[in-house]
Chain A
Amino acid sequence: MGAQRPDRGRDKASVVVRGVSRVFPGDLRALDRISLEIHAGEFFTLLGPSGCGKTTLLRLLAGLEVPDAGEVEIGGRAMAGVPAHRRSVNTVFQSYALFPHRNVRQNIAFGLEMQRVSPAAIARQVDEIAELIDIGALLERPVDALSGGQRQRVALARALVNEPAVLLLDEPLSALDAGLRSRLQVDLKRLQQRLGMTFVFVTHDQEEAMVMSDRIAVLDEGRIAQVGSPQAIYERPEDVFVARFMGHENLLAVTRHDAGGVETALGRFEGGFAAGTHLLLRPEALTLHADAPPGSSGNGFLARVEECLYRGAATDYRLRCGEVPIAARVTNAGRSQPGVGDTIWVEVAPDSAATLNARRHTG
């Protein structure tokens, strides 16, 4: 086997996207001069709200869409003019797109059949992948007799059996219920680490993206807002859009900025902040005190507790300081906690706050 098959194989591939644009009729610019570099063997996630262009970008990599401008390289090879069926890239579709007239085994075998692999080799490879994904018992079943989670695994096996240089996953978990979903997140992450394959994963769920990815690109209206590790994206979002999308609520408009600190509606915060329109306070980096500790630097403010949400390992507080709502998360370590209605002093550690801009990539 192998002679007729395209440049497939265990050699994982990098993906380079250079200045890619895609315009749809009706003047909706789905992608606007996107540039990205995805490393070989990386779990890379395209994250963004619906309509941000993440699925379009994935389809461009698969060859199901053609860019209006710019270029795509997979494994160092330019993909211009290479149709989907000649690319060593396979996709797990959001709807799974299994062939209903074929059973599970025939579905998984489809890609190998199309590459004219010998029937014996196909049978062996299908059995192998079925064991890896743990669907060996389902092989002879018709696909319409499968549950959602089983279909998802079959779709995954159907793509993986071809050993693509890059595996594309288009919101593969979005149709599943929460419990199954978090289990499959872990499974998928482990599988990727075991195979060392390049995964490009599309999702609109920032927690899913953080759990699974080596790196994340946040997309906003067809442009890349930020690329980085989950930690970097969460802790140091570069603009308000990314911060909001990653779940941050404590964004204070900066009214004055100087070398010594910034001024906001909650008063002045000392520190060497970069210039920016907003100040971000991460909820888990705030500490709550019954009274202002003596000799406090002034990086803090008084607030009233409006709501306590006990979550086991931590408690989420909804605070209010004047008109400004603030969210704080405190780990429960057996200390006495403030209750609803208490007025407390919120201490902001200097390294837990950062300034950022309204929108980095305007124009």
Chain B
Amino acid sequence: MTRLRRDSLHLLGTVAPGALCILVFLVAPSIYLMGMAFLSTDATGLPALPLSVQAFRELAGFGFLGWSPGNLYTLLRSLWQTLLATVLVILIAYPAAYYISIRPARWRPVLLLAVVVPSWTNQVIRSVGWMNLFAPGTPISDLAVLLGITEPRMGLFPSQFAVIVGLVYNFLPFMVLPLYAAFERLDHAQVEAARDLFASPLAVFRHAVLPQTLPGLMAGTVLVAIPAFGMYVVTELLGGGKATMIGNLVAQQFAAASNWPLGAAGALIMILATLLGLWVLRRLGRRLGGDREVVI
């Protein structure tokens, strides 16, 4: 057997299982989904030939009764709620991760566990928990009424506010963990060098802390923003139809509304939006990280 052949066989043996998995579980369903988006529906709402762009027309808002902006709003609301939730998660997780990283070594695992343990519980149960906290008549809702934030007897749930709280709460651990890892590896000598070289506290953060924690921040943002964008459990339960996101729309089409091509088209748009988001994030990371490639 020639060396080249042996090497090729070796390569095939090691790479093939993984490649096969990706092919069967990622590429094939994606192609199936993409194909489905370009089919029309039969009488029961299941996909059928001929090919058409009907699903995309419907997604864009053209229905039996003319054009409505509903779906477009849902898409924009999804983007906005994802952005808001991600920014809030960063604002909470960044100082939290730093705080945990400067605790004595024996306390750090305990604090990290406290962050992570809630996520071991089912999403639905946690959302129901928030529903109980935000329902009309609870102390929190009464306080909100007192402060004039909400109407008497309305409660804080269901509302967009409740959805944002639910999203932030849900995804916080996914930001804290990578940021904590980044803070734990932080090279304090760089921080001191920046201070020594006339950098104000803000400049120290910008030039010595942020670039070092950027990989963690990027990883966390990806881990939070992508699932948040597709989230439908939390929005369903806490939004009560007031804050539906594109995930709800897609889920609806595959279930109750029974319009699979429309659901597939929605999923396709989600994938494209996610890829676009990743591209923007990468550019942002490169700018903040001083042209260094930040792998996300």
Residues of A within 8 A of B (CB): 6, 62-64, 83-86, 89-91, 93, 95, 97-102, 106, 110-111, 114-115, 158-159, 162
Top 9 A-B residue pairs of the complex, sorted by shortest distance between their CB atoms: A97-B189, A111-B197, A97-B193, A101-B290, A114-B198, A84-B195, A101-B211, A101-B292, A91-B196
Say how far B210's CB is from chain A's closest CB, in angstroms.
Answer: 10
Q: Which residue of A lies closest to B192 (CB)?
A: A64
A326 smallest CB distance to B (angstroms): 45
Q: In the complex, are the beta carbons of A90 and B197 less than 8 A apart?
A: yes
On whether the beta carbons of A83 and B195 are closer than 8 Å, the reply is: yes
B190:A62 contact, CB within 8 angstroms: no
27 cross-chain CB contacts under 8 A: A6-B198, A62-B196, A63-B196, A64-B192, A64-B195, A64-B196, A84-B196, A85-B196, A85-B197, A85-B199, A90-B197, A91-B196, A95-B187, A97-B187, A98-B190, A98-B193, A99-B207, A99-B290, A101-B289, A101-B290, A110-B197, A110-B207, A111-B197, A114-B200, A115-B198, A158-B197, A159-B196
Cα separation A41 to B187 with both chains bound (whole Å): 32
Q: Nearest chain A CB to B292's CB is how many angstroms away?
A: 5
For window 200-242 of B, CB contacts with A under 8 Å fall at 200, 203-204, 207-208, 211
Task: List residues of chain B with CB within 8 A of the CB of A63.
Answer: 195-196
Q: How far is the CB of A316 from chain B (nearest CB, A)?
A: 39
Q: Which residues of A contact B193 (CB under 8 A)?
A: 91, 93, 97-99, 158
Given that A102-B290, A110-B207, A114-B203 are contacting pairs, would A97 and B198 also be in contact in the complex, using a CB cutoff of 8 Å? no
A contact residues around B199 at 8 Å (CB): 85, 110, 114
Question: A62-B196, A114-B198 given as contacts; is B207 within 8 A of A97 (CB)?
Answer: no
Closest A residue to B196 by beta carbon equals: A91
Interface flags for B269-296 (1: CB within 8 Å of A; 0: not) read: 0000000000000000000011110000
B208 / chain A contacts, CB cutoff of 8 Å: 99
Q: Does B194 count as interface, using CB distance less than 8 angstroms?
A: yes
Residues of chain A with a CB closer than 8 A to B196's CB: 62-64, 84-85, 89-91, 159
A225 to B127, CA, bound (A): 67
Task: Give complex CA distance A98, B292 in Å.
Answer: 15
Q: Which of B187, B189, B198 contacts A111 (CB 8 A)?
A: B198
